[in-house]
Structure 1
Amino acid sequence: MVEYPSASWNQQRMQEALKSPELTVKMSALRVLQEVPKDEYVQALMNSLEDPDRLVRINAAIALGKIRNPQATIPLIRHAVTDPDREVQSYALWAFRQIDYSMASQQLIELLTTSDNHPMIRFAANEIRQKSDVKAIEGIIQRFHSREAYAAYDLDVRASGALYEIGNITVEPLVKCLDSEDVRVQVNAIYTLGKIGDNRAVLPLISHIQNAGIEVRSRISDALIKIGDSAVPDLIKLLEHNDRDIKWIAAYTLGKIGPAAEPALIAALQARGDKPSEDIIYALGTAGTADSFSLIHKIYQNTKDDSVKAWSTISLSNLIARNYDSLDSPEMAEEFLDSLGEQLKPHMTLDSEALLRLGKIYVIRALRSETPDKLSQNITIAVKCFDLSIIEGETVLAKAYRLFYGSYLKLMTSRSAEIMGYVERDFTDLKKDAEKTDNKKEIMIVIGDVLAVLRKAYADRSYNFTGLFAEYVDTCVTIERFIPLDEGPKEEAKKLSQKEIAKLHTDIEIVQKKIGTLIDQFGASADTESAAQALRLSTELAKMDTGTYNDFRVVESCLKTIVNHMKVPAEEKSDLHFKILMISKNGLSQVEAVIDQISKSLNVKPSAEEEQKGAIETKATEAATEDKEVNKKTSILEYVAIVILVLLIAAVLLLALNKFGYIDLPYTFPISWLNRDIATLFLNA
């Protein structure tokens, strides 16, 4: 006969009843615990919440609601939001509501910062938001503080995500963090404010730009870009700041915000009058639409300032790349494109996508060419654009177009017997890249079709390259169906350990400070282009924080431009260019070495911190040299001892072999137990 639980049962028997295979026994135990709730059964009841039977789960939730122990908070929330049975969800929610919020708060923080279950995270965030629990918010912010395992610019993505889920009530506590002396707290607060996107963060963020270092300024810029339109009026005011670096940060940020900033930028440019306006011109090139083209083109035509001319060229290139089909003045655009080819260089701060679009525009111009010379000229510039696009950020599409149109150009200009062999070999790398994409089969078919046209053109000596170019373009562009604009070959990124990431962040921070010193030097000498390249270099190095950065071409391009502007002997420039070539092999350490040599060549005075570090390193080097000398003396004695020991072992082995008759030595020992005759005498005795 089955015995059912009662209030008189001890803890062990009651827990066994909760695990019973008999449903009626489990239900009886749960009813008893509902009548007499006790904390010692919380864990057992939490286990019952996982029972496959919905009635058991419902009654376990009721019992936990009556016990009101905060230990059950997370399991109850899980069933309140994810249980497949709606009734179980209702009872789990009721049970959670019975727990004193002040006791459950810590569990909610734990859930927010450790769970990957998004419905549970949103539930916990909503609870904190509804209670306006500032203490919980401050508890999460505490995770931002630097610890041994973290470097200054490490992001705590979980804590930031938790604050984002809680929402706008976190803005004020986060704004207070901007005044923290802990850089890691500042950086995480800036990142989170940008993610939340609340307008109230704009002025505090902008006010902290002035005294921030270059890395923190970069993070503030990113945050303001995410906040977007509402940051525009205050950023426009920064364009008139006395500090040129701050003006350029404002211009960069406004450019990235996009078309919403265009009207204010146009008004600011017109208000400048005849004053230098490179910063606004750059921002309009990045943010502007077709409406900005005529204004920038007028400046481009009329200016006598080389710097303004250069930045106007960059801006017009960006505007045409984005708005080619909608420009009000197509004749001016075509005239500009005629002259752009020779000006295109790797350091023009045009991004990969803009250069790819420009290349496609030159292909369109080639389609309209009436003579072989015009066709060849436009294809040449198109291939150059695709080349530069690959330098700025490699994509399969840019590589494909460079190869497709470059091969067509080769066959137009050369009829050597080996040329088709070279073309075929050039396609090998593209086929390898195709293997790494999601649509490799379709891409391989397109490559085959393109090669078929090229083979036909090679075989036919009277091939009409100009007349049949449109047909060739139609074949080439089919590859875009299978390759999105930003897709590249998929590589498995190497994941760094926590220790390696911490060291990486420290090394980047050191290099960033050296770049900051260089920027100050360029600013003092009015070398605006080198300063712009150094700023871009700094922004690029900030991407290394992820630990997966392995494409140093933009870094190399920035450094090459800076070196080209330096007034140093040709031999020194050559040496620097060689060291820049080694960056892709040696990484960040080589970048630092190049920057050190540039600083030395320009007589850049290191900061006090760098001097202190240099003094410490000098002392460490001297100490290491002394230790090396001592170790050298010690090692000589060790070698002598080892040699003597080896000789002794060899001697003992020889004597032992002689004793047992394996070898005969050319001499005997008159007084020794190792002498064979004496040993035999003793043995016989």
Structure 2
Amino acid sequence: MDDKRITELIKQLSVPDVEQRRLAAELLGRSHHYRALIPLQNALLDPDAQVRYRAAKGLVWIAGISKGIKLIAHTDPEVRQGAIWAVDELRRGEESQALIQALVQAMDDPDGGTRAAATYVLGHLGGTQALEPLLKALDDDHRLTRMNAVDALGKLGDGRAVPVLIEHLADQEAPRYLISEALGKLGDARALPVLKKLLGDEDTFVQEAAVNSLIALEGPDTALDLLASEVENIRTTAALWLTQQPEEVLYSQVPRILALLQQPPADLDLPLIRILAQARNPQGLPRLVNFLRHPRVELRRATLHALQRLAQPQAMLPVLLATKDHDPEVRVLALRVLESLETIRQLGHP
């Protein structure tokens, strides 16, 4: 950004239009220009909270972590929050004991937004030093602070948090679905009985988080077990996890998937197509081909995409029949897939 533009933005920090001042503070911070330092410092006294917040972020972006540490102790909560979030953006390789201490102190701030910001950033920076402050934050009266503490403990990876998190699951005011997620991230087998019990929880978000955490702890076999659950939310969550796995995870599981889903419930039709496509195992071909006759057009389209990914020339005849489908999009897609399969056949690829 050239000097002329910097001069214009500095002037805009003093105009009556608050939106212009906010934008000027943001752009001056992102300019990383030394001339912005004093104007941004003055903008910390602006009557608008957003201007002060953005000015604080800009100062830290330009002056660095040391400035952030000073501003975390500022008298204005908007300035403190801006400094904390800017420090998070600059944290790569610049952590220091002074910064961690400043964040720990900010977790006792009277302002809930400041505590929430400090909790979030400390989860990235604090290492083992962050454990006790984060555990304490689980009982904070500010909901976002509690949520950020749970998330941070999951990322921290310290097994000492496991029993405390399990204890907080009994609190209906706690962010229980985040606790369920965190227990999966921590990778501690002590959480398994609790997570299995949460499969019966009335809160569907908690239930979904428990499914994903159980799979994280036990692997694909558990995903397949849950795929056969009588509870729709559990099996669809497990199916979604499977659709996101790479070929090397799914390929050998195809026989078991097909055995489990001889007659899948309707909610698993589309996930099954996607799982078989991801696996790229020819054993899934007969099951996929059957979906070309399904009454739901979106399933027929998904099947054609899956057959193209599977790249098996023996699918050419059913795809040829699909070129006569009553849906025009299916017909166009079938022609494209047929051309792709013909190319593969001519090249002699399997």
TM bin, normalised by shorter chain, reads: 0.5 to 0.7
Which residue number corresponds to residue 369 of structure 1? 286
Contact in 2 for aligned 1:155/1:188 (Cα 8 Å): no
Shift of 1:237: 2.1
DSSP-derived class of the 2:71 partner? helix
1:334 matches 2:258: yes
Contact in 1 for aligned 2:195/2:213 (Cα 8 Å): no
Distance 1:452 1:269, change over 3 A: closer
Contact in 2 for aligned 1:321/1:355 (Cα 8 Å): no
Which residue number corresponds to residue 172 of structure 1? 101
Contact in 2 for aligned 1:190/1:205 (Cα 8 Å): yes
Amino acid corresponding to residue 288 of structure 1 in structure 2? I
Which residue number corresponds to residue 191 of structure 2? 265
Distance 1:412 1:236, change over 3 A: farther
Shift of 1:375: 5.9
Distance 1:111 1:323, change over 3 A: closer
CA distance in 2, matches of 1:375, 1:418: 12
Aligned alpha-carbon RMSD (Å): 5.5
Contact in 2 for aligned 1:194/1:226 (Cα 8 Å): yes
Which residue number corresponds to residue 115 of structure 2? 186
CA distance in 2, matches of 1:342, 1:245: 34
1:314 matches 2:237: yes
CA distance in 2, matches of 1:144, 1:223: 26
CA distance in 1, matches of 2:284, 2:224: 25
Distance 1:112 1:189, change over 3 A: same
Which residue number corresponds to residue 141 of structure 1? 72
DSSP-derived class of the 1:199 partner? helix
1:16-45 alpha-carbon deviations (Å, 9 max, x no partner): xxxxxxxxxxxxxxxxxxxxxxxxxxxxxx
Shift of 1:203: 3.6
CA distance in 1, matches of 2:77, 2:272: 41
1:207-244 alpha-carbon deviations (Å, 9 max, x no partner): 32344454444433443343235575256424642326
Distance 1:190 1:326, change over 3 A: same
1:288 matches 2:211: no
Shift of 1:250: 0.2
CA distance in 1, matches of 2:141, 2:260: 40
Percent identical among aligned pairs is 15
Residues 502-581 of structure 1 aligned to structure 2 (within 5 Å): none
Shift of 1:189: 0.9
1:111-133 alpha-carbon deviations (Å, 9 max, x no partner): 982438xxxx5xxx6xx7xxxxx
Which residue number corresponds to residue 267 of structure 2? 343
Residues 515-664 of structure 1 aligned to structure 2 (within 5 Å): none
DSSP-derived class of the 1:115 partner? helix
Q: How many residues in Structure 1 have an aligned counterpart in Structure 2?
A: 280
Residues 356-395 of structure 1 aligned to structure 2 (within 5 Å): 358=275, 360-361=277-278, 364=281, 368-369=285-286, 372-373=289-290, 381=299, 383-384=301-302
Shift of 1:193: 0.4
Distance 1:331 1:197, change over 3 A: farther
2:324 maps to which of 393, 415, 419 = 415
CA distance in 2, matches of 1:296, 1:246: 24
Amino acid corresponding to residue 175 of structure 2 in structure 1? I
Contact in 1 for aligned 2:211/2:238 (Cα 8 Å): yes
Shift of 1:326: 4.3
DSSP-derived class of the 2:187 partner? helix
1:598-647 alpha-carbon deviations (Å, 9 max, x no partner): xxxxxxxxxxxxxxxxxxxxxxxxxxxxxxxxxxxxxxxxxxxxxxxxxx
Which residue number corresponds to residue 62 of structure 2? 115
CA distance in 2, matches of 1:267, 1:290: 12
CA distance in 2, matches of 1:321, 1:413: 27
Distance 1:326 1:232, change over 3 A: farther
DSSP-derived class of the 1:283 partner? helix
CA distance in 2, matches of 1:290, 1:382: 35
CA distance in 2, matches of 1:144, 1:337: 62
1:251 maps to which of 160, 169, 180 = 180
Contact in 2 for aligned 1:265/1:280 (Cα 8 Å): no
DSSP-derived class of the 1:142 partner? coil
Q: Which is higher, the Rg of structure 1 or of structure 2? A: 1
Which segments of 5 or more consecutive residues in structure 2 lack a partner in the other structure? 1-33, 35-55, 310-316
CA distance in 1, matches of 2:142, 2:301: 40
Distance 1:286 1:138, change over 3 A: same
DSSP-derived class of the 1:415 partner? coil
Amino acid corresponding to residue 290 of structure 2 in structure 1? D
